[in-house]
Amino acid sequence: MAKVKAKVTCFIDNSLRNEGDEFEYNGPKNTNVEIIDGTEFEKTEVKVDDTQVAKQKWTPKNKTVASSAD
């Protein structure tokens, strides 16, 4: 884990971090913090699933317009 310092007020790791707060951060690179202890952020890769999404199997019903009684 890298020890970092918040540059601005931000929400990281389910906590509100104020400017100047020092804390340990274990996540992807973030522009709201600067590294203090010299270690780099962990490199994370995002996997994209190439499966096709099923098409809509039903058709929407036609909307009916209520007639006003005059």
pLDDT at 28: 84
pLDDT digits (tens, 9 = 90+) for 2-19: 889 999 999 998 999 999
Is the pTM higher than 0.75? The answer reads no
What pLDDT is stored for residue 20 in this prediction?
Answer: 93
* pLDDT tens figures, 18-69: 999 999 988 888 889 998 987 766 666 667 666 666 666 777 777 777 766 6
pLDDT at 37: 82
Can you point out the beta strands (E) in the chain?
2-6, 10-12, 15-17, 22-25, 33-35
